[in-house]
Structure 1
Amino acid sequence: MPEILPRCATDAPPERPARAEHAPPAFAALDLGTNNCRLLIAAPGPGGFRVLDSFSRIVRLGEGLAQTGRLSDTAMDRAAAALRACADKLGRRPVRRLEAVATEACRRAENGPAFLARIAEETGLRLRIISAREEAELAMESCAPLLETVDRRALLFDIGGGSTEIAWIRVPAGAADGAPPDLIGYVSLPLGVVTLAERAGQDCFTERGFFEVVEEVATHLAEFDRIHRIGQEIRAGGVRLMGTSGTVTTLAGVAMALPRYRRPLVDGKTLDCEAADLALGDLFALGRKGLAEHPCVGPDRVEFVLPGCAVYAAIRRVWPTPRLTVADRGLREGMLTRMMRAERAAPRRRAR
């Protein structure tokens, strides 16, 4: 049997399907992003949920979108192949409820809705395009279990493929006992690792190009800071900086000197920001060849690591904090948490 994980779990080895009459109710969450297509199938478990199956593939759906305003035929074909694989997995296991969403690439692309209509016809999967606000709320939902009683506020960032979401969160007194946090404000910057990699290209591998991206992102963040006075709150104490993205988990893996990336060691880990900053410097010094050979990066992510690190460096510049909590969880976990909470609440509503 798979390990019971607290609240959230992802990308675990698939569980052998149980006999249909004894199988627990399964829920599925599908996230089609600018760079990745991810599926998570899970069943409720003590204190959270248990992963039954998962899928993740780099599809680069947003490739060329910034230049043309459209999803390219090649990118759509890659994503369609991944979504067919997801449909096959879902077809092999009864699922009580499925939530399937698309994010920044389909939000921005002129032909995004047409592509999703094609997917519905070819696979039966009906994906809905969610707003940037809902994207921030789902990330907050998945990361809420990492909050502690000492936290008054949390600043959560998610560096995605096509955009970066920043969520400014109020932590209620009972957060550690399951009370949901409140989203005070959010901002979605159209600057993600794919869009920056395409625009900056080789420049991010140079010191000058890297810091030009840092300056651009920091300018956007400073405006959000002026509205919410986040820096002032950080100086007053009780603010937790949290990051969820491939960029921040990679920084954690390097800072922890992991011989290979291991999610259980990284998810929920709180790092000294100085250690994360040193890891950023180490990644920058590796260059393209060194990044391709690094066990926490690999050849598929070479182009995206330094643009993501530039966004992280901008966040650190505008909001310097002593510690960073790393979350290897995101939209899928947030969707699953919501679905299972609604399932538990249904009998109580019927009883009333």
Structure 2
Amino acid sequence: MLSRGRTGVLAVASASPAHVITQAQAKAFARSFFDDYFMGRDGAVIDRFLGAYDNAGVETRQLARPHDWYQQLHSFPDKNAAYIEQAVPLARRAGELALQRAGLDPTEVGAIVFASSTGLSTPSLDARLVQELGLARDVARVPLWGLGCAGGSAGLARARTLAMGLGKPVLVIACELCSLTFMHGDRRSANLIAVALFGDGAAAVVVAPEPWWDPQNPACGPELLGGYSRLLDDSEDIMGWDLADEGLRVRFSPTIPGLVIQHGPQLVADAAGVIGLGAEQLKHLVFHPGGRKVLDAYDQALGLEPDRLRHARAVLREHGNMSSPTVLFVFERFLADPQTRSNQPGLLLGLGPGFCAEGVLFRW
């Protein structure tokens, strides 16, 4: 049936791998790995790069494999096999918890949106998750690949559209194992910085139209008011993957914080305009924490008070940047904070390869 009513969030859940690494351990690994490359150059160079670990805003992260696994050289097929092996149970944990919190029978789900960009699988992993989670076998499958850090916010926006069109609940799962893409042969500073920032995790959201989502039910989450997408022309070099013999080689530009300062105000204003509001009317801001410098750039560009992005900073501190699920981790923490509920509009936003912005307007 076609939904003519409103659509909202029933539940959000997250899941993390068991292997924890502190930032001090990551820094020691980076020093041992990159030190030979910097030998013969200015001795201060490696220390200057390693200073990024102290200023990244990250204290701990969770990894798909034990620490010693990353000390060994692995082929692309081996790393991709590890991705499939680890991503399915991790995504399942997040999905099961979200369905449980929503009080939803899995067979009621009309579509599953699966966002991931850190491994390859055909069929996409949502085919396995349909079976693992006990979803109906005629469920619509919508895999999203290549959106990187914007995948979670894009998945949520697409789920709203699907829920309205199908008239059924939609399950969104974002799962990334960024650590498995680490390349021993990559001695660029971008790889060193990636080791300082990225972790692994999965998150899930259940989105549903009325009557599953009931604005009178205090157990239900926020209403989703509209989606927002914006692609910047000729910006493919800013963020993404380059395919090399050893696998997926990270590509991200140090200009990203500057782009946030340059484009952030207009992006937020345009997103608010989707629901006929001005940027200053958005009470809630749930942003993907790409890194401390990115969050600082948002503060500067939008003139935010220091604690406005506190939930994003907390997720970055405890989990690092997990790519697509990270903003959903922030969303989960935001919704659990009793101080945030005020029946006011807000924006959930992620930036990713393209270079693009993907967001969802909501009321909470």
Query: What TM-score results when the alignment is normalised by the length of structure 2?
Result: 0.32
Compare relative contact order (CA 8 Å, sep 6+) and give the higher one, 1 or 2.
2
Query: What TM-score results when the alignment is normalised by the length of structure 1?
Result: 0.33
